[in-house]
Amino acid sequence: MQQVFLKKVILAKQIRRADLLRYIPARQIKELLEQASYLRGKRLVHVNAVADGGGVAEILASLIPYSRFLGVESDWYYIDPAVGKKFFKVTNKIHDALQGAQIKIDNEEWSEYERVSKGIANELDKIDCDVLAINDPQLLFAGHHAHFNKHKIYFSHIDTSSVFKPVWKKLLPAILSYHRIVFSNRDFVNGALPRRKIKIFPPAIDPLAPKQKIVSKKQARSYLKKYGGIPPRCPLVAQISRFDVWKNPIGVIQAFRMIQNTYPEARLAMVGFNTAKDNPASATVYKDVAAVASKSREIFLFFNPMGRNISEFTTMVQNAADVIVQNSVKEGFGLVVTEAMWKRQPVIGGPASGIKKQIQNGQNGFIVKSPEEMAQKINFLLSHPKEKRVMGESARKSVIKKFLFPRLVLDHLKLYRSCVK
C-alpha cells in the first residue's frame, strides 16, 4: 500500500460581513475586497505540520475562511501523522537547532527527513496552485523540492537569529530557494538571508473565533470547578502553553511557590494539552514538570484532554484566571498572550522577543527575567485590583490597534498579489 504524506483540512467555518462589522470599519472590509480582486482565478495552498494544536494551525483555521469570504480560492493541507514519530523527532531537533540549541542530527535522521520530505513534495506536485505557502521547518525541504515553476513562500514562525550553525548550513540552500521568506518578528531574521526576500507579518487573533469569547469570571470559575476540579474562590494563576523547555514551566512553579507565602490558598493551572502530533518531546517535559509539582496539591496540570473541549477549556482558563503568565525564553509570537490581552488580562511574560513585541512593560503587562521577579509581579496584580483593571483595558486596546486578524489577512493578500502579478 502506497504511503500517504498529506491530508486536506476540511473547514466548515464561514465568515459573515455583519460579524466583521462588529470589530472593523466598513472601509477596512472594502480595502480587503479590493486587494482580493487582484487574485480572482488564482489558487493559494498553505501547508503546515498539524491540523490542530499550536499557533500556526490556529492562524490557518481563520486565514482560509477569510480568504474564501473575499473570493480567493484557498486550501490547507497538513502532514499525515502516520508518517511516524521518527520524522517528527527529527523536525523537533531541527526546530530547536534553529533556535540555537546545540543538537546533533545524524545521517540516518537527515535521511528520514529527506525521505518524508520528497514524499510530501511528490504529493504537492499533484496539487494545482499559483502560490504555495510552506509553514515552518517540518516542511522546508518538501517545499524546496516541489513546484519549481510556482511562487513559493516560506513562513518561519520561530527565532533564527542565533542558529546552531551545522544544522543551519544544511537548511540554508533550501530556505534561499523560496521567492519570499516571512517572519513574525524582525528580530528573528538571520543575517544570512537576503533582505529583498524578507517580509514581516506580526500574527493576530481572530475576534470571530469561539476561543476569543469573553464570559464572566463567575461562569468561567464554575466551568473550571466542574471540568478541572479547581476551587472557584481561590486566587488563580495560569500558564497556557504546550509543555516545552522553551516555555520554562519549572520557572513558573518556582514563582508560584514564592507567592504562596502571601497567598497560601492560591492555585496554579498549567494548561498544555497534548494535541500537536509534531511535538513528541512534550510528553518528556510534562513528566519532568509533573515530578516537580507532585508534592503540591495546589498545582493543576492539564496534559491529557480526557474528553475535554480543549478550545473551550482554554478560553475559560483565560477568563477565570486572576493572573496570566507566559514564561517563555523563546517564542515565535505567543498568540496565547494576545488572546489573554484581548480578554483584558495584563500578562506577565518572559523575555522572549515575540512576547516583548506585545507587552509594554508596566503599561499593559510585565516582562520578567526570573522566578523572583515573576512572583513579585503576581503579588502586585493580586493585591492591586484597580491597577490591574487599568492595565487590562490597555492590553485590550493594544490588541485592537495592532493584532486583530483582518490586518493579517491584508498583509497576506498584498504578498500574494506581489507574487502573481
Which long-range contacts link 23-31 to residues 24+ away (Cβ below 8 Å)? 23/207, 23/208, 23/400, 23/404, 23/406, 24/404, 24/406, 28/406, 28/410, 29/406, 31/410
3-class SS at 357?
coil
Instruction: State yes or no: pLDDT of 37 exceeds 90.
Output: yes
Alpha helices in 303-384 (DSSP H): 310-320, 335-342, 353-356, 371-383
Instruction: State yes or no: pLDDT of 276 exceeds 90.
Output: no
Instruction: State yes or no: pLDDT of 123 exceeds 90.
Output: yes
Element (H, E) at 68: helix 55-69
Contact predicate 307/328, CB 8 Å: no
Rounded Cα distance, 6 and 238, in Å = 35
Superfamily of structural domain 6-206+404-420: Glycogen Phosphorylase B; (3.40.50.2000)
**pLDDT the model gives residue 288:** 94
Q: Tens digits of per-residue pLDDT, 48-102?
A: 999 987 789 989 999 999 999 999 999 999 999 999 889 999 999 999 999 999 9
- pLDDT bin (cut points 50, 70, 90) of residue 296 is confident
Concatenate the DSSP letters of all residues of 373-410 into one string: HHHHHHHHHHH-HHHHHHHHHHHHHHHHHH-BHHHHHH
Supply 195's cell numbers: 533582505
Supply 415's cell numbers: 504578498
Query: Which residue has cell 550553525?
Result: 165
3-class SS at 67?
helix
Contact predicate 280/396, CB 8 Å: no
Concatenate the DSSP letters of all residues of 148-171 into one string: TTSEEEEEE-S--TT--HHHHHHH
Contact predicate 101/144, CB 8 Å: no
Domains 6-206+404-420 and 210-402 share a fold: yes
Q: Tens digits of per-residue pLDDT, 326-353?
A: 999 988 788 999 999 999 999 999 999 8
Instruction: State yes or no: pLDDT of 140 exceeds 70.
Output: yes
Is domain 210-402 annotated with CATH 3.40.50.2000? yes
Supply 12's cell numbers: 466548515
**pLDDT the model gives residue 330:** 84
Contact predicate 246/99, CB 8 Å: yes
Per-domain residue ranges of the chain? 6-206+404-420, 210-402
Instruction: State yes or no: pLDDT of 307 exceeds 90.
Output: no
